[in-house]
Structure 1
Amino acid sequence: MFARFSFLVVLLPLQIGLAKNNYDIVIRSLECKIIAWKYVNEVDCQLLRKRTPVISARFSLNQTLDHFDIYAVFDLLKKDNTRMNIADIKMDGCKYLGAMYQNNIIGKLFKRLKSVSNLPSNCPVPKGKLYEIRNYTFNSDEFPPGAPQAKWQMRLKLLKRSELVADISFEGSVVYNT
């Protein structure tokens, strides 16, 4: 009887999402580059804290964007500094802005992103307005349990048609609390 009770006490929190992850997300660097200044008037990205990272960003457009694409690449970095590609994703940026509330891991992350920003919910994205992400905190409990301890890099490319407008890169790691 005690064994069954112990089993439920340990597994029930995992099943209903009460268990907290035993790792931290660490971001070592954040870099935002504007490639096509004809679309962007101003940009600023800051990594405010590395462990339990906090980032802020702001940008303003020179032209109203009726459509844009997002190309995301996620790589794990091996000990010999070679890359192992985990994901290459190309998305319609306008559809993505409108689908931030999907009930999946990315949807959960961007639902909170929307709560700390004034990003639009759809296209067109008007010119002249200052868009900001204020103090977005990466919370490891929003990520899957059992993520491997690893160094990683994520690169986001924002495209207008096939023209590269902005290049954003994050480099970080998953560090277990032992």
Structure 2
Amino acid sequence: MIPLPADEPIIIKARRHWIMPASQIAVTVLLLLVVWSAAIGFVVIADLRPFFRDLILWGASLLTLLIVLQYFIAFMNYYLDVWVVTTKRVLEIEQHGLFNREYSEFTLDRVQDVSIETKGMLSTFLKFADIHIQTAGTNRDFYFRQVPHADQAKDAILQECDHYMCSLRGEPDRHHDDVPRSGL
């Protein structure tokens, strides 16, 4: 995690919804079942010489290794992708593969619009959506994909933007003192 100054507490720390790694586990288990069912079935049904039997089992073992490696890479990409909203900035840390990490940030005064987009029945039932933060200037917009409780996150981001803008102008925050911060 990126070290933050003491005067910049974390308001929201979010990852993709848990259904993403769960679906990858299901696909991994299904692939392993297919590989080993085919390998064992072929070895049992076909009367093969020991060399060919061992070759099939080695091939199934190699496929198992590759499937499990692919799952761990996908899980690492899930776990290391994190979006953080502090009292001053929005940070996006995104892992691409094994050795490629992208870090982006912008201050809350650059936020122009925050919108959420819920796609499909599954995301509606499980309450996750994509958050789109449009920023001022030529910097790219931020898309946080499959964020759980995106509506609460959007409200918390807008609330922190208002608070940050009031602090920049030196005005007292008339709404922030009464409302507790969202701790998604």
Task: Name the TM-score, length of structure 1 as normaliser.
Answer: 0.28
Between Structure 1 and Structure 2, the one with more strand by share is 1
Between Structure 1 and Structure 2, the one with more helix by share is 2
Larger relative contact order (CA 8 Å, sep ≥ 6): 1
Task: Name the TM-score, length of structure 2 as normaliser.
Answer: 0.28
Highest CA radius of gyration, 1 or 2?
Answer: 2
